[in-house]
Amino acid sequence: MLHSAKRLSQLLRRSRPRRLTSKAEPSHHVEDASQVDWLSVVGLDDFRLSLPSELSGGMRKRAELARAYAAEPKLLLLDEPFAGLDALTREEMQLVLERLWQGTKCTVIFVTHDWYEATAIADRIVVLTGRPGRVHEIIPVQLPRPRDATVRRSSEFLTLAARVADSVRELAHSNVDFPRSSVEVPTDG
């Protein structure tokens, strides 16, 4: 979350890690992330002097992604990062994340309860059981990238999203033990 009185450009500068290795060591990334203008990559170049409180929800999410990638992670854990966004902004953010991932190949573990979103983002979808969390099913996603509107409307995408939904529903129904009740539900007669 971005809660700060600092400008976006200042927040990203502080995100960069200190290098503890030799400069001669080859980078594991496609680009040297410390040299990337992450605000431009996520479309916030014109807002680098803005405060986080001056940004819309979608813009804040983009700034959060930029800040996360500026730290040059090898692994990024995103727990429902687009929850609360409207549908269009959410889809835009999914495409921004995909573009960032393609440029860096950082491993991303993306937690979501939205099977459509999981299908749009993942290479592999892991459906987990409830507590304790165990793997119920692993579903490979072999759809072309970028997963733009054309791909998302394809029969392959929709079939796969339905398969994920069915897996989640199957799991939900197998774990539900509704208490018996003697309460009578009135009907219009």
**Each residue's pLDDT tens digit, 136-152:** 999 999 999 999 999 99
Check: CB of residue 138 under 8 Å from CB of residue 126: yes
Regarding beta strands 135-140 and 124-128, do their DSSP bridges make them parallel or antiparallel, or are they unpaired? antiparallel
Output the CA–CA distances (angstroms, integers) from residue 117 to 36, 121, 142, in the order listed.
Answer: 27, 6, 15
Check: CB of residue 139 under 8 Å from CB of residue 127: yes
- 14-21: list long-range contacts, CB under 8 Å, 24+ apart: 15/67, 15/68, 15/70, 15/71, 16/70, 16/71, 16/72, 17/71, 17/72
**Domains of the chain, with CATH numbers?**
27-111 (3.40.50.300), 113-174 (no CATH)
**Each residue's pLDDT tens digit, 8-33:** 677 666 544 433 333 333 333 334 55
pTM of the shown model? 0.70
Q: What is the end-to-end Cα distance of the chain in Å, rounded?
A: 53
Confidence of residue 69 (pLDDT cuts 50, 70, 90): confident
